[in-house]
């Protein structure tokens, strides 16, 4: 917003440069990992409990349990696994070619 160039080691994208259909948010607390995309919230919980909320923006979202083979759950877990791997292996210096 300040129209300044900078280098960031954060994992993510500049939301001001994204198109509306590219929007997503990673949500987590000490027990649940979530991935929100428009119209869908996928949540991974302890004991391999996987749930999805359809239309989470509405007053009455539809909540359903899904299996581990659900592609939305694979994507959800992949974001967190890649971020964890990058953090553990110090792959945060994009200019060094470590990626």
Convert the pLDDT of each residue in 21-50 to its tens digit.
Answer: 777 888 889 898 888 888 888 898 888 888
Give percent above pLDDT 70 in the chain: 82
Q: Is the pLDDT of residue 1 over 70?
A: no
In whole angstroms, give the CA distance from residue 36 to residue 56.
9
Residue 68 to residue 12: CA distance in whole angstroms: 25
Q: Of 51, 12, 10, nearest to 33 (Cα)?
A: 51
* Tokens coding 41: 């919230």
93: its two tokens? 């210096």
Percent of the chain predicted with pLDDT > 90: 4
Query: E strand or H helix at 19, and its extent?
Result: none
Total-model pTM? 0.66
């Amino acid at each position: 917003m300040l129209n300044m160039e900078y280098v960031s080691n954060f994992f993510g994208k500049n939301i001001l440069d994204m198109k509306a259909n590219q929007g997503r948010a990673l949500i987590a607390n000490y027990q649940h990992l979530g991935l929100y995309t428009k119209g869908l919230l996928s949540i991974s919980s302890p004991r391999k409990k996987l749930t999805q909320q359809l239309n989470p923006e509405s007053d009455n979202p539809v909540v359903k349990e899904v299996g581990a083979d659900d592609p939305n759950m694979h994507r959800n877990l992949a974001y967190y696994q890649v971020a964890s791997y990058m953090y553990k292996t110090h792959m945060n210096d994009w200019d060094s070619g470590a990626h």
